[in-house]
Amino acid sequence: MNIAVLLGGISPERNVSIAGGKAVASALRERGHSVVLIDPSRGADALVSEHILTVPANEQVSEDILSISKRELLNSMNSLAFDKIDIAFSLLHGNNGEDGLMQALLEARGVPYTGSKVLASALAMDKNASKIMFSAAGIQTPAWAHFFPKDYDNIELLSETMEELRGNIVVKPNDQGSTVGLTIVHNDIDAFHKAVLFAGQFSKSVLVEQFIEGRELTVAVLGEEALPIIEIVPDGGFYDYEHKYTKGKTQYICPAEISEDVADFVSNLSVTAHKILGCTAYSRVDFRIDEDNVPFCLEVNTIPGFTSTSLVPMAAAAAGIEFGELCERIIELS
């Protein structure tokens, strides 16, 4: 097949996307496919080679990249880069990649692509919308509030929210991934206010949710099947950007050491969450599980990471699916 691997982009997760995209391109070439790399942030010059994409996944993205106009994404679609492409394997994370925008542009260009379609991508990226869908489907999710810019300096509203949610509170952008802009606040109104303002820098709205004390689990869904569950154990602190993309900062236990009944329940919830948002081919569903083994669904990632420390390839390996085979399975399922 003639495959275009989409990587880079203009979100804060650009560098993670580059690392994953290069890994996928290499694996697909080893399996006999013709592969080109496309970075839509470069507009009409979107075709790139591996040697110019050398930024470490755990390095922060520069403001110059983040300020690139969305028009360049459209220009890349109008270029010759997508001619004679059988399918685009999208590893574009975050805004302008995972949120339905690129999916819509690919559909307009007539290029098939991997993963979820426009509506599911947009729903999954919007954490507030996802949690509404989870609740409607009977999937337990942490209590939450959704703030817009007009709310950020409303100290009375922030105080009421902190009282309602109680205990530790997670503050994060409503439509980012990789824990970009995330803060955990410990019953301190000033810290809460600062965290909301900080998260607001990365999104048009902010999600605030109750922190669930306990263990962190994640489940990869491939087709309509849950792969082995992974427990995430960060080395001190919490599972932030640094812990996600720096080798040795986090321990991963796969399969997670939980009872068979709990594992079956969490796996079924993962597939339900995947389906309720209308996801296609694959996703990764994140949970917190409390001391009573009650799972709380946090979010669904429609384009999860594919770096050397990423979780979907890890879960697939535990199920006996080699990395290149996983990439081909995703293409087939898409």
What fold, for 144-210?
Dna Ligase; domain 1 (3.30.1490)
Q: Exactly one of 98, 175, 299, 328 is catalytic; which is it?
A: 299
> Is residue 245 annotated as a catalytic residue, yes or no?
yes
Q: What's the pLDDT at 56?
A: 64
Higher pLDDT, 179 or 150: 150
User: Nearest 5°: CA angle at 122, between 231 and 274?
Assistant: 40
Percent of the chain with pLDDT over 90: 81
Residue 177 has pLDDT above 90, yes or no: no
> Is residue 284 annotated as a catalytic residue, yes or no?
yes
195 neighbors 152 (Cβ within 8 angstroms): no
Residue 109 has pLDDT above 70, yes or no: yes
Q: Exactly one of 96, 116, 301, 334 is catalytic; which is it?
A: 301
Which CATH architecture best describes the domain 124-139+213-333? 2-Layer Sandwich (3.30)
Residue boundaries of the structural domains of the chain: 2-113, 124-139+213-333, 144-210
User: Nearest 5°: CA angle at 152, between 203 and 295?
Assistant: 65
Indicate the average pLDDT of the chain. Answer: 92
Residue 62 has pLDDT above 90, yes or no: no
Give pTM, 2 decimals.
0.91
Q: How many residues does the chain have?
A: 334
Percent of the chain with pLDDT over 70: 93
Report pLDDT digits (tens) over 75-97.
999 999 999 999 999 999 988 99
Four-CA torsion 14, 15, 17, 23, nearest 10 degrees: 160
> Is residue 26 annotated as a catalytic residue, yes or no?
no
> Is residue 299 annotated as a catalytic residue, yes or no?
yes
Mean pLDDT of 228-234: 94
How many other CB atoms are there within 10 angstroms of residue 191's CB atom? 15
What fold, for 2-113?
Rossmann fold (3.40.50)
Higher pLDDT, 259 or 247: 259
Residue 244 has pLDDT above 70, yes or no: no
DSSP state of 80: G
> Is residue 334 annotated as a catalytic residue, yes or no?
no
Among candidates 207, 208, 209, 249, which has minimal Cα distance to 232?
249
List CB contacts of 229: < 8 A, sequence separation 6 or more. 217, 218, 219, 254, 255, 256, 258, 263, 266, 267, 315
For 82-111, the DSSP string reads GTT-SEEEE---STTTTSSHHHHHHHHHT-
Q: Exactly one of 11, 13, 21, 215 is catalytic; which is it?
A: 13
> Is residue 20 annotated as a catalytic residue, yes or no?
no
